[in-house]
Amino acid sequence: MNIWDFLTIGLYLAGLLIMGVILRHQADKKDYFLAGRSLGWKPLSLSIMATQLSAISFVSAPAFVGLREGGGLVWLSYELALPLAMLFLLWKILPSLHRAGVVSVYDYLEQRFNLHTRVLLSFVFQISRSFATAIMIYAVSVILQGAIGLAFWQSIVAIGLITVVYSLQGGMKAVVYGDALQMVLIVLGTIVCLAYGLYHIGGLEQFWSWLEPGRMQTLRFDAYGFDGQGFGFWPMLFGGIILYASYYGCDQSEAQRALSAKNTIDLKKMIFAASILRFPITLLYCGAGLIIGTFALNTPEFLDKIPEGKPDWMMPVFIVNYMPNGVIGLLIVAILAAAMSSLSSAINSLSAVSVEDYCRLTKQSLSNSQYLLRARFVGIAWGLVTLLLSFFAGDIAPTVIEAINKVGSLFYGPILACFFLGLSTQSVMGKHVNLGLIAGVLTNMVFWLFVDGVFWFWWNVIGFVVTTTVSLALSRLLATKALPEPQIVNEYSAKSGNDLNRIDIAILLAWFIVILSVCILLGG
């Protein structure tokens, strides 16, 4: 790296700080956490994709595809369930949460069930989101340590300090517009890496002659996920539907974008854009991974620079050693951008949930200025907690991208079941769903700790089924006189027919078939 690379990085970071200052004026909590519900579907679509297709995806997905033992294009099976999950969200969850006018999705749980349900679910979210974000920050800090030469703690502080400042100043607008810019940088960075990788290999003909045929396998119909084999078609499909539906609809860090949309029409457009654009971007990641991984496996001096057992170093090592100066700075900015996208979203959503929970528990009514001041202090606190956890995140799991999804799979199924039951039943009460949630999470923990051979994607299904079954059973065993259905449910039921029509259903089902067909063609 030379002065131009460091100048590029410095200018980008300074631009984020300036954006935070420009967008620092907010009138109330909905302005701060939901951008006053003034955001259109285009920046929101880029924002949710930037958070999901983060630094881990930019770095780890290509490493999984191109270098990790047992990896390859089977990574694409992650994408199969997304259109079906989005179909479920538009049918049952997101429009009702948007119409409710809540800041935190867990506000709905309090209105539908009780305060205990709200606190329990938000506590689960805060624990899982802070740990997942810490894992991501740890991975990127290690990468920057090798690429820029910063000490590990300096990398963490550099990422955290800038992100905390601009996201706290600008609120949700800064998060969304920052994410939109970062998504563009991530995609351009991946295209540049792919092109230079192909250049260093010597062209497509040389690439195909070097490529390991096993890395082209996309779907594993013979792996059911109950005999120690992972990434089988069926667990990825059914577990993926629940994972994505819970993540995009019931996880505050993602659902907050849906709550920020101008109206349910923009919300639907946002969901459709994310559903359709995500797969081509993932294909781009996978293509870069195949090309650069093939180059690494056939270039001993490149492979020697990657620490043993750390395939995530493949992309940063390639960037620093095989890209021209100036471009290196842009690509390091892309990695920084991806990391900051996830951290800024986590800080804003954790702050929203914490402050809302505090006001509910203490029954305090804060003025707008008091609320915003409290939100910023809480955001700083969560930023510090997340950065502190990142110092210990390396001990959670050897593979970062799988660690994040594995931790999430403990909770995604039970959380989705709570929202589903709230919108679909009248007989299930707070005490029923609280015990069901605890049963679902504990069951998944038993599978993690004591049951070998069950692929962790199945935990999403297991947690959902256990939580739903226990809650419904308790509602029958402990039956009381049915309470009036909450107004939020009545409002959704009256208007839900306007949210999803036959054309919408046909488009999402057709896109599922397109993804499946592409996977079959690539793996054939």
pLDDT score recorded for residue 497: 40
CATH number of the domain that residue 404 is part of: 1.20.1730.10
What b/e sequence results for 115-125 when a residue is b if at least 16 CB atoms lie within 10 Å of its CB, and e otherwise? eebbbbbbebb
Is residue 373 domain-resident? yes
What span, in angstroms and rounded, lies between the C-alpha atoms of 341 and 348? 11
With 60 as the cut, is the pLDDT of residue 398 above it?
Answer: no
With 60 as the cut, is the pLDDT of residue 32 above it?
Answer: no
Structure tokens at 49: 């994709």
In which domain, by residue range, is 346 found?
Answer: 3-221+239-516
pLDDT score recorded for residue 12: 73
Q: Cα dist. 225→72, 236, 447, 519 in Å?
A: 18, 9, 13, 19
Is residue 226 domain-resident? no
The average pLDDT across 421-448 equals 92
Report percent pLDDT > 70 for the chain. 81
Which range, 150-164, 229-243, 488-502, is most confident?
229-243
The average pLDDT across 2-8 equals 77
**Cβ neighbours of residue 237 under 8 Å, at least 6 residues apart?**
77, 80, 81, 84
**Cβ neighbours of residue 255 under 8 Å, at least 6 residues apart?**
94, 97, 105, 248, 249
pLDDT score recorded for residue 230: 81
Q: Which of 340, 328, 296 has the alpha carbon at shortest distance from 140?
A: 340
The average pLDDT across 325-343 equals 73
Over residues 458-494, the pLDDT tens digits come to 999 999 999 999 999 999 988 755 444 444 444 444 3
Report percent pLDDT > 90 for the chain. 31
Task: Give Cα 34 distance to the centre of its chain.
Answer: 18
Is residue 231 domain-resident? no
Q: Phi first, then psi: give them for residue 39, nearest 5 degrees.
A: -90, 140
Is residue 228 domain-resident? no
Q: What residues are paired with 39 via a beta bridge?
A: 261
Number of domains in the chain: 1
For 441-472, what is the HEC assignment?
A: HHHHHHHHHHCCCCCCCHHHHHHHHHHHHHHH
pLDDT score recorded for residue 2: 72
Is residue 229 domain-resident? no
With 80 as the cut, is the pLDDT of residue 225 above it?
Answer: yes
The average pLDDT across 185-189 equals 82
pLDDT score recorded for residue 404: 78
pLDDT score recorded for residue 447: 94
pLDDT score recorded for residue 138: 75
The average pLDDT across 66-88 equals 91
Structure tokens at 431: 């005490």
Poorest-pLDDT segment among 156-160, 219-223, 349-353, 457-461: 156-160
What is the DSSP annotation of 341-388?
Answer: HHHHHHHHHHHHHHHHHHHHHHT----HHHHHHHHHHHHHHHHHHHHH
Q: What is the mean pLDDT of the chain?
A: 81
The average pLDDT across 111-134 equals 83
Is residue 524 domain-resident? no
Which ranges constitute the DSSP H helices of 23-151?
Answer: 29-34, 41-52, 55-66, 82-92, 94-99, 105-112, 115-148
The average pLDDT across 274-285 equals 90
139 or 373, higher pLDDT: 373
Structure tokens at 12: 């980008």
pLDDT score recorded for residue 501: 84
pLDDT score recorded for residue 307: 81
Instruction: Check if the beta carbon of residue 383 is closer than 8 Å to that of residue 164.
Output: yes
Is residue 523 domain-resident? no
The average pLDDT across 437-454 equals 93
Q: Phi first, then psi: give them for residue 193, nearest 5 degrees.
A: -60, -45
Q: Phi first, then psi: give them for residue 261, nearest 5 degrees.
A: -65, 150
The average pLDDT across 190-210 equals 93
The average pLDDT across 29-38 equals 56
Q: Phi first, then psi: give them for residue 391, nearest 5 degrees.
A: -70, -20
Structure tokens at 451: 């049951």
Is residue 433 domain-resident? yes
Residue 496 pLDDT level (bands cut at 50, 70, 90): very low
Number of Cβ within 10 Å of residue 62's Cβ equals 32
What span, in angstroms and rounded, lies between the C-alpha atoms of 423 and 99? 13
With 70 as the cut, is the pLDDT of residue 269 above it?
Answer: yes
pLDDT score recorded for residue 403: 73
Angle at CA of residue 520, ends 516 and 521, nearest 5°: 115
Handedness of CA 337, 343, 346, 352 (dihedral sign): negative
